[in-house]
Amino acid sequence: MEYKRTIKFNYYQIRKSYIDNGEWSSPEVFDFGELLANLYRRGVIVKTREIEHSGLKYRIETMRTNKDYGLWYVKLMKMRDTNIPSKVKENTEAEPLHLDDDEYIGEDVSFVYERETGIIMFQMNRFSISPTKFQEIVTDLNGNRDEKFILSPISFVLDEKAFERDYYKKIDISFANLNRSYTDDKKPLGKLIKSCADVGGVCAHVTISLGRSGIETLDRYTVQNIINDVREDSYHVSGAKITVKDDDDTTAEVIDLFDNVTSDKIEFTLKSRETLDTDVIYKRMVRCFVEKREELHKFLLIE
């Protein structure tokens, strides 16, 4: 039996930030391909060799280069040995799926990377590696605590003016990696991160609202600064939403600062009991990326 599977891909630009005079620098586009090559030369990562991170195992399953279009294709695998499913046979009871000591359930995620511009087309798979987790893994593999890697969302929909509103009613921010230093604590976002980190936690969620005070808006200047900083730091910030109004007569609008990333969806036709073939997803992703490349370059002002 055939069925359809639709996969979503988000577009990011991979950037690096480093400690400069005691503060994190503004994230800059860098050559991720060179980093991968260095990690291979140092033996830190080898195809089909496991990578351990936060008690879990991952590995690079496939890596290809497409010289015609200047693209890299990488397939990553999350190796899971928990929450194992059962095997069911018609007219019989379900049986646990037994795994040997060196066997795992594999949850894959693929991405296409353009080395010249740092643009990444990243597969979204909630069972595998998220963009945030990818950032953490790359940062750890690099082995330099004074450097961190960020997937900066590319958005065609919202520009800076989209966040300039008359009334800011509420802001919700979710933090991660609070055990990693954030030295720029003079900015509003940095102060929030430092305050949460001082408690000793690794993750936090902060909501700032007006309640029933009757006050019209949060401080516009501070909120706009937080918004700008949030959009630049997806390493410490895992989610952020603002509730805004244009005037007294309009209803409140919730803007998700991390859900406006440019994306594509590709539909695949599969047969029952078969997995998605690597060659198929590789060719479709490359074709999709190439078709969107001009638009991506134009948005990022890349000639």
Give the DSSP letter string of the chain. Answer: -EEEEEEEEEEEEEEEEEEETTEEPPPEE--HHHHHHHHHHTTS--TT-EEEETTEEEEEEEEEEETTTTEEEEEEEEEE-SSPPEE--TTS--EE----TT--EEEEEEEEEETTTTEEEEE--TTS--HHHHHHHHHHHHT-TTEEEEEEEP-SS--GGGG--SEEEEEEEEE--TTS----TTSHHHHHHHHHHHHT-S-EEEEEE-TTS----S-HHHHHHHHHHHHH-TTTEEEEEEEEESSTTSPPEEEETTS---EEEEEEEEETT-PPPHHHHHHHHHHHHHHHHHHHHHHTT--
pTM of the predicted protein model: 0.72
Show pLDDT as tens, one digit a residue, over the chain (303 residues). Answer: 888 999 999 999 999 988 888 878 888 898 888 888 888 788 777 766 788 888 889 988 998 999 999 999 999 999 998 888 898 888 888 888 888 988 999 999 999 999 999 999 999 998 899 998 999 898 888 888 899 898 988 876 555 566 677 788 999 998 888 877 665 677 888 888 888 888 888 889 999 999 888 898 999 889 888 888 887 776 788 788 888 887 766 678 888 877 668 889 999 999 888 889 999 999 999 999 999 999 999 888 775
